[in-house]
Amino acid sequence: MAVAVNETEIAYAGVAGQAELIRNGEISSVELTQTLLKRIERLNPSINAFRIVMADEALAEAATRDGAGAGRTRPLHGVPIAIKDEIDVAGQLTTFGTAARTRPAAADGELVARLRTAGAVIIGKTTMPEFGQWPFTESAAFGYTRNPWDLSRSTGGSSGGTAAAVAAGMVAVGIGGDGGGSIRIPSACCGLYGLKPTRGLVSTAPYQHLWHALGTQGPLARSVRDSALVYDAIRTELPGHELGFATAAATDPPRLRIALSRKPAQRGVRLDAEQAGALEQMAAALRELGHEVHEHDPDYPEVAPAFVPQFYGGVRDEVALVERPDLLERRTKQTLALSRAIPESTVRWAIRRGAQIAERVNHFFEHHDVLLTPTIAALPRRLGALDGIGSLHASLRAVPYVAYTAVWNLCGNPAASIPAGFAGDGMPCAVQIVGAPGQEPMLLRLSAQLERARPWADRRPPLDPA
């Protein structure tokens, strides 16, 4: 390295910091990639964040970045990024968390192609539960993924491998997917910032959809700025986004009307006392920043009739891609059996019903700029959430983790999980902010303002020598 820099500081420098080190000639992309590969080699055996590490490919790509002098101005130039294993990377399996897929992808997915165009280095693919069905990153094929804050605890899911990799400093940022909370839930469990974008903002090509109208993809990051930088590289253009997300994140928002709600969209969910306390503290912080914060609950209709058919239909569509259905988990075979009771006509009805629910719920944002809720109702649970149970039982165990998030997949709104301190047992707490469709710039401005007022990115799991 041109300048001797501590491995841990490099690892936690973030996307912006790592890109700046490369631009300034303090480190090359190859040296950065080698540093992170050594860290992955040391930490991944105990955490299990990566399904596969693409060491040779990443070093070759990093060398190409170092040879492209003019490309150093690209925002992600030379920065290694991890990809959730439901997104195609050329020459690699897209497993969806299962052993039943055996044919490598012929080409990069659109999101990965955009990352490469922005100068990123693809370093590996991260773990997930089979077909992303559960908010716990555990699978028969690839085992438990462990939370860097406490190796006996869950990372959440389904983008749990990505969350663990970022939280542990194995990469500065990773890509996840979110069909019911799968960016926000693992971000909440691992102390990260995770913004689910408006439906349609990020392409899922070559796949036509991610669980029909429910899913989208995006980054999990340590900072708001890093998230914004990656979104500027992967997003499509929508009205109101012309200035760019990174520019938005650098600007304070105006005084906002923020509604505080503890009410989950699903009945029968009890909010953990420490998550409730974190919500109150964040509301106080927002008031100190000059925003109007008052208690008001959205008018949530019953969301299951519109959500459940799309979930089952989406998993069914993904299972249809496998070459070895005999290797599917027993739970997935049960999900598949249940999905046969839901014809395609019901899935199409559910999509239309979801649009009607979205229209009704979004009237809320005619009188409020932002909704503030918990992200998850519980703290990260112990590993083994899926041990010995079937599909329906797993769905019941998922409820406290999706009770505040899944409705916004149904409605298509942008929603972000924001770190909100730590519980007494040392596990991260989090809150969720939600905006009207297309309001990512406002959510990023508010998130960045909170980050400046109550910084979180300097908090690190106990993985490195003091």
Note if the bond before 400 is cis, omega within 30 degrees: no
Per annotation, catalytic residue among 29, 139, 182, 223: 182
Phi, psi of 162 (to 5 degrees): -60, -45
Task: Give the active site residue among 158, 223, 227, 417.
Answer: 158
Catalytic annotation present for 182: yes
What does residue 421 show for φ and ψ, rounded to 5 degrees?
85, -165
Of residues 28, 29, 84, 395, which has the active-site annotation?
A: 84
Q: Catalytic residue at 84?
A: yes
158 tagged catalytic: yes
- For residue 92, give every residue at least 6 positions away whose Cβ sits within 8 Å of its Cβ, in sequence order, or none: 52, 54, 104, 105, 125
Residues labelled catalytic: 84, 158, 182
